[in-house]
């Protein structure tokens, strides 16, 4: 069986189990799969997506044991979502002109090298140029990559022992070096970004308990796609809903709030409410 067909079958099994909760191994067009074949699919699904499919010995029905693996920001969830969309689009080639996708800026050509460096703990030599500044060359230790707003970013530690974010679309050159580094055992990229929204991290920005009021239809956007894992719904009326966040409100977070226009109002803390007012006033000067 071709790789693409096996992959599509694996995704079909996962989506079917998610839709129905549990099933027997009679899952292939009404025909029972051979037990050995089904076990191969289960092993492949576990290896690729980290999804564990087990059998209830009382009912002899299969179910996904760790549903939560597809409910966070894990690479498994992203990979599953991406491949699911790829499979759907591959089967819909006849209507490809009616599917509109978002563009991802340049820089993807460096992703494979960066992931190789991360896997083998190799330092990389990086040629980089920020917007509006002169370029430079630097050797860094790549710790992780993150996708945010259609752009890929690399989190790396510099020779000055500082954590820095590099946008892949601003990389001018990149190569592996023979020099290796030791990745701290207690370092977690998810933990590093957990107090922030987006990729801009600044430990000088203090943690804050932010309360916002979402007006009109905006609450539904926040409910279906939370801005941050700390998001909590506090109270709701016919016209608005209040949400809270425990977060370091850096520029990425403020920009996201501003992107909702009059649909979002910052209530607390007062210092942040004043900052938002100043940003809006500065925007008005452009008009």
Residue 71 — very low, low, confident or very high, per pLDDT cuts 50/70/90?
low
Residue 33 — very low, low, confident or very high, per pLDDT cuts 50/70/90?
low
pLDDT of 39 > 90? The answer is: no
- CA separation, residue 81 to residues 65, 68, 72, 159 (Å): 19, 14, 12, 36
Mean pLDDT confidence for 1-18? 72
Rounded distance between C-alpha atoms, residue 192 and residue 184, angstroms: 13
pLDDT of 62 > 80? The answer is: yes
> What integer pLDDT is reported at residue 83 of this predicted model?
64
> What integer pLDDT is reported at residue 100 of this predicted model?
72
pLDDT of 43 > 80? The answer is: yes
Rounded distance between C-alpha atoms, residue 109 and residue 115, angstroms: 11
- Mean pLDDT (the chain) is 85
Cα 95–chain centre separation: 28
Mean pLDDT confidence for 58-85? 71
β-bridge pairing 136-148 and 151-158? antiparallel
> What integer pLDDT is reported at residue 255 of this predicted model?
95
pLDDT of 187 > 80? The answer is: yes
Mean pLDDT confidence for 225-230? 94
The helix or strand, by DSSP H or E, that contains position 169, with its residue range, turns out to be none
The three-state secondary structure class of 181 is coil
pLDDT of 285 > 70? The answer is: yes
Rounded distance between C-alpha atoms, residue 265 and residue 242, angstroms: 9
Q: Which of 136, 135, 113, 108 is nearest to 124 (CA)?
A: 113
Residue 63 — very low, low, confident or very high, per pLDDT cuts 50/70/90?
confident
> What integer pLDDT is reported at residue 73 of this predicted model?
61
> What integer pLDDT is reported at residue 75 of this predicted model?
60
> What integer pLDDT is reported at residue 118 of this predicted model?
93
**Residue whose structure tokens are 């909702």:** 260
> What integer pLDDT is reported at residue 98 of this predicted model?
72
Report which of residues 273 and 23 the model is more confident about: 273
Number of neighbours of residue 236 by Cβ within 10 angstroms: 13
> What integer pLDDT is reported at residue 42 of this predicted model?
83
Mean pLDDT confidence for 259-284? 95
Mean pLDDT confidence for 87-98? 65
Query: What's the token pair of residue 200?
Result: 């801009």
DSSP strands (E only) in the chain: 22-23, 53-56, 61-64, 122-128, 136-148, 151-158, 163-167, 171-180, 208-215, 232-236, 240-247, 264-268
């Amino acid at each position: 069986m071709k790789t693409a067909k096996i992959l599509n079958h694996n995704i079909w099994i996962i989506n079917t189990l998610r839709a129905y909760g549990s099933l027997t191994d009679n899952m292939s067009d009404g025909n029972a799969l051979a037990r050995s074949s089904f076990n191969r699919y289960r092993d492949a699904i576990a290896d690729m997506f980290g999804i564990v499919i087990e059998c209830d010995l009382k009912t002899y029905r299969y179910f996904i044991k760790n549903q939560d693996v597809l409910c966070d920001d894990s690479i498994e969830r992203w990979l599953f979502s991406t491949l699911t969309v790829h499979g759907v689009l591959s089967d819909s080639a006849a209507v490809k002109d009616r599917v509109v996708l978002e563009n991802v800026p340049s820089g993807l050509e460096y992703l494979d090298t960066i992931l190789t460096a991360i896997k083998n703990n190799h330092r990389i030599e990086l040629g980089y140029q920020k917007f509006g500044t002169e370029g430079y060359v630097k050797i860094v230790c790549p710790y992780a990559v993150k996708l945010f707003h259609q752009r890929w970013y690399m989190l790396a530690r510099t020779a000055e022992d500082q954590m820095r974010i590099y946008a892949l679309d601003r990389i001018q050159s990149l190569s592996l070096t023979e020099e290796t580094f030791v990745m701290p055992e207690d370092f977690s990229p998810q933990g590093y970004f957990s107090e922030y929204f987006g990729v801009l991290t600044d430990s000088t920005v203090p943690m804050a308990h932010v309360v916002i009021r979402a007006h009109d239809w905006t609450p539904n956007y926040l409910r279906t796609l939370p801005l941050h894992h700390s998001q909590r719904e506090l109270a709701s009326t016919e016209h608005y809903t209040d949400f809270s966040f425990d977060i370091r409100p850096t520029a990425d977070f403020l920009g996201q709030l501003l992107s909702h226009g009059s649909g979002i109002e910052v209530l607390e803390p007062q210092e942040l409410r004043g900052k938002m007012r100043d940003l809006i006033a500065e925007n008005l000067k452009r008009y």
